[in-house]
Chain A
Amino acid sequence: MDKEIKFSWQDIIKYGVIGGIVALYVVLIGMVVTFKERYIIAETVNLGQIALFSPTFILAYFAANNARKLKSLIYAIVVGALVGAIVGVFVAALLVLASHVNMREVFLNVSPELLKILHFGQESLKGASLVIVGLNLIVGLVGGLFALAPRRWSNALLVGAALVTLMGILQELMSITFGTKDWYKPLGEFIYAKKGLSWGGTILFFVLGMLFSLWRSSPGLHPGARVAKLPPKQQQGVRIVSFLLGLAILVWLPKFLGSYPSEILTTVGIYVIMGLGLNIVVGFAGLLDLGYVAFFAIGAYTVGILTTTGKLATVGWNFWMALPVAIFLATMAGVILGIPVLKMRGDYLAIVTLGFGEIIRILVLSDWLKPYIGGAQGILQIPKPEILGYEFKGPQQIYYLVLIGILLVGYIAWRLRDARVGRAWKAMREDEDVAEAMGIHLVSTKLMAFATGAAFAGLSGAIFAAKLGSIFPHSFNLIVSINVLSLIIVGGIGSLPGVVVGALILVGLPELLREFADYRMLFYGALLVAMMLVKPEGFVPEKTHARELREQPLEPEVAPEAPAREAL
């Protein structure tokens, strides 16, 4: 590192002040109050407190981590504690200020309730301030200690804590889903208290998380590494078996989970299909499309118009007749909107596609087109799909439609990725001029990317319309495009498994945490920035693909399929 081993008072103050500002931000934006009812551990620790103290922890960790290079352990811990104390001073100052001045008119969230929480049960302001500083100091100290742990162990601790938090959040869902099942009752009583995990449950999941992380990180035990040691024939066998096993679980899942979780999974799935499509456009071909929602809307509206039995009824087709039309129209729209932007690059492309998306949204909302597509009132009474007497009526049934969609679209994306077309896309993403000089016809290659992406979105939109039974313009605003973009970036641009992971994190989790709705876009925005700054390749990067390739010795006889073998 270029930094000298020097860690001064200024640095401590710097980290403390940054932490203080972030903590104030968390307080002012209202997280502490919003999440106060979300207990994670036995009516003691709630998500609001976690939000309040995590800036302290993180900043203390970073400060101590830098200070650690001084090799004095005590010093690192002291640094952590001091940073924590400074953060505490900030929060305490807010408490004091807010107790004397009415800040609520400007800062909506500085409510009496917040002040009550910040008092931490103390009567006097002085006592409360001391408690705040003290608690922050302790958290900072823990953060400092944490920085001293070896990487593998600190990771394990983090995974443990994350699992505990996740299980705490899941409490409500678990009891809705399994509350009636016999096998669940004793288990539920053991792991959960009235609100949040019980102490036993906390310890259980913490240890489980740690063990899992340690297991993953020990080189001899990692499943991927062990599979890689097998001969190729067996490797393929392992992959096929695990694929079939995964598929069986996916098929069985809605029966096991019941209605509400299936609903969430269906929503996640709809985003996965869109994500796989946008991943082709942005991830493979490098064309940043911010108007992607337009194709989703076209798919949904086509199905809506062609199948509705309501006021706007037209031909009254069934879903299966409308579906190909929806996909076809979305594809055509992809080509037509693709043509004007062929010569544009990067940021211009982004703005123009965003403009397209907005134009379509404005048109849909306008009085002009209202007689045909319903304006703000949308399209109602869209019948559910039916096949051979099986009706996809509820989330548990639509789930299978989505699953088939994902498998189909995922298969297509996976095949294309390593084919001639996919290579041309990636080459174009890397350097358009050179790609053209290597014989790639830019126009057709780009249009193919736009068309494929749009077709996927069209399919997704069609399923979306069938799922909801009614569609409204506000379901198709820019936010959808941003959501999809965020999820492929979080998963890893260009990575197929990344799309699924991204959708689970960004679409699935918020559904579980309803209080979170207000912070969803805030969180996405911050995540986009943070990912670009810290981990632009995403959590499941595309490069692993290259690494996997390397692990397999190449044999030309079996070559054609070799590159595409990737764990699904």
Chain B
Amino acid sequence: MLRKFMRKHDVTDLVMWLIGFGLLVVVFIGTYRTLASGKYENSVWLDFFIFGLAQGSVYALIALGYTLVYGILFMINFAHGEVFTGGVFTAYFFAIAMERAGFIDRHWVLALLILMAIAMTVSVMVAVVLERIAYRPLRGAPRLVPLITAIGASFFLQYTYRGIYGSGVKTYPDFPALDGKLNAFGREWPILTTQALVIVVSALMMVFLYWYVQKTKAGKAMRAVAEDKEAAALMGIDVDRVIVNTFALGGAMAGVAGILYALLFKQVNAFMGFIPGIKAFTAAVLGGIGNVPGAMLGGLFLGIVESLGPSLILDGLGIPAPYQLKDAIAFTLLVLVLIFRPTGILGERLSEKKA
């Protein structure tokens, strides 16, 4: 009986379920002990949650770039994190110029819009050039080839930024209008104004993107190409153009995400895109890569888990300085999702299509 079972399944399946179960138990124990100890007050949890929501919306915006490109080309644009960096890092120089001119104090909304426009433009340019030089010639090559190219491009861009703009960490100027907690409708809300702004802007961007993909002609062409490139080409759709559009759209989202990131975390440098890039990829996978609403949900979920996780799970296990391990939580989540549910939370399109 057991032998028959073993012939049909591998030991490895069993091992994996054991690992999964073990981790679940660890999470449960950690959470229980943290909550039982009552170390944190409710308002602290709320702060964690809101912060998670804000950084999650940034992840979500970046994740859209991964998902859009994956949906069409079935490749992971490994360099997307650097598309993100390019915009926000370039915009930095305009930001300090505006600060020095006192423009940010006088017209902060306009200043923010200008910065976003600049970041979007640069990110779109980086994404489009990347597609043109590094990816387009490799369409149809074995899967490993564009992936290695993307990894190379990622490092090339990181060190290009470093070489041109310098290696130091730069601090974005302050937006005085956004300091402190949100005051609206005659009362103070338990949320920082910046966080509120980040959440609202990314929500708007996502609604725009959803509308664009679902309702516009360009969006429909995009979905057609994702479904079947050859058929779309036969229907008179310019596939190359649609692909460029996709990269541009992802770049634009990454550009906005960059400015929001700068509002939240203030600091930029040449390598800043790498970790958010991988996390956004995680978010995209969480939601089911290739699936637009999935990427949004995945981003928010990851942001919240990452913000709550260290205190909620690790603290209870008696691990010192749990916050150091927040990236490890994100990566563990990535690994777990890919192992146990590679199609993601919402996704259904990936697994069969890969064959």
User: Do A and B assemble together?
Assistant: yes
Give the A-B pair count, Cβ closer than 8 A: 157
Which among A25, A350, A363, A525 has the greatest number of chain B C-beta atoms within 10 A?
A: A525
Whole-angstrom CA separation of A341 from B325 in the bound complex: 22
* Cβ of A190 under 8 Å from chain B: no
Whole-angstrom CA separation of A282 from B145 in the bound complex: 12
What is the minimal beta-carbon distance from A268 to any residue of chain B, in angstroms? 21
> A286-B144, A533-B138 given as contacts; is B163 within 8 A of A443 (CB)?
no
Is the Cβ of B332 less than 8 Å from the Cβ of A359? Answer: yes
> A286-B144, A518-B163 given as contacts; is B151 within 8 A of A355 (CB)?
no
Which among B149, B165, B285 has the greatest number of chain A C-beta atoms within 10 A?
A: B149
Which among A345, A359, A485, A518 has the greatest number of chain B C-beta atoms within 10 A?
A: A359
Is the Cβ of B155 less than 8 Å from the Cβ of A482? Answer: yes
Of chain B, the residue at the smallest CB distance from A443 is B10
* Cβ of A109 under 8 Å from chain B: yes
> A352-B335, A528-B148, A529-B149 given as contacts; is B342 within 8 A of A522 (CB)?
no
Q: Cβ of A433: which chain B residues have Cβ within 8 Å of it?
A: 355
* Cβ of A106 under 8 Å from chain B: yes
Is the Cβ of B334 less than 8 Å from the Cβ of A347? Answer: no
Is the Cβ of B328 less than 8 Å from the Cβ of A363? Answer: yes
> A288-B144, A355-B335, A529-B156 given as contacts; is B320 within 8 A of A522 (CB)?
no
* Cβ of A7 under 8 Å from chain B: no
Is the Cβ of B148 less than 8 Å from the Cβ of A532? Answer: yes
Of chain A, the residue at the smallest CB distance from B351 is A343
Whole-angstrom CA separation of A519 from B325 in the bound complex: 31
Whole-angstrom CA separation of A518 from B163 in the bound complex: 8
* Cβ of B233 under 8 Å from chain A: no
Whole-angstrom CA separation of A108 from B355 in the bound complex: 48
Q: Cβ of B325: which chain A residues have Cβ within 8 Å of it?
A: 362-363, 366, 368
Please report the total number of B residues contacting A with Cβ < 8 Å: 53
Is the Cβ of B138 less than 8 Å from the Cβ of A532? Answer: yes
* Cβ of B152 under 8 Å from chain A: yes
Contact with B along A517-530 (1 / 0, CB 8 A): 01101101111110
* Cβ of B19 under 8 Å from chain A: yes
* Cβ of A125 under 8 Å from chain B: no
Is the Cβ of A529 less than 8 Å from the Cβ of B321? Answer: no
Whole-angstrom CA separation of A109 from B354 in the bound complex: 46
Of chain A, the residue at the smallest CB distance from B156 is A525
Is the Cβ of A366 less than 8 Å from the Cβ of B327? Answer: no
What is the minimal beta-carbon distance from A58 to any residue of chain B, in angstroms? 15
Partner of B338, one of A109, A344, A358, A368: A344
What is the minimal beta-carbon distance from B275 to any residue of chain A, in angstroms? 9
Partner of B147, one of A347, A365, A524: A347
Contact with A along B271-295 (1 / 0, CB 8 A): 0000000100100010000000000
What is the minimal beta-carbon distance from A480 to any residue of chain B, in angstroms? 13
Q: Cβ of A76: which chain B residues have Cβ within 8 Å of it?
A: none
Q: Cβ of B146: which chain A residues have Cβ within 8 Å of it?
A: 532
Which among A356, A522, A529 has the greatest number of chain B C-beta atoms within 10 A?
A: A529
Q: Cβ of B144: which chain A residues have Cβ within 8 Å of it?
A: 282, 286, 288, 346
Q: List 12 A-B contacts (CB under 8 A).
A: A351-B285, A352-B335, A358-B278, A358-B327, A362-B325, A366-B325, A367-B320, A367-B324, A489-B148, A518-B163, A528-B156, A529-B153
10 closest Cβ pairs, A-B complex: A528-B152, A525-B156, A525-B155, A522-B159, A29-B163, A355-B331, A108-B166, A529-B152, A346-B143, A367-B321
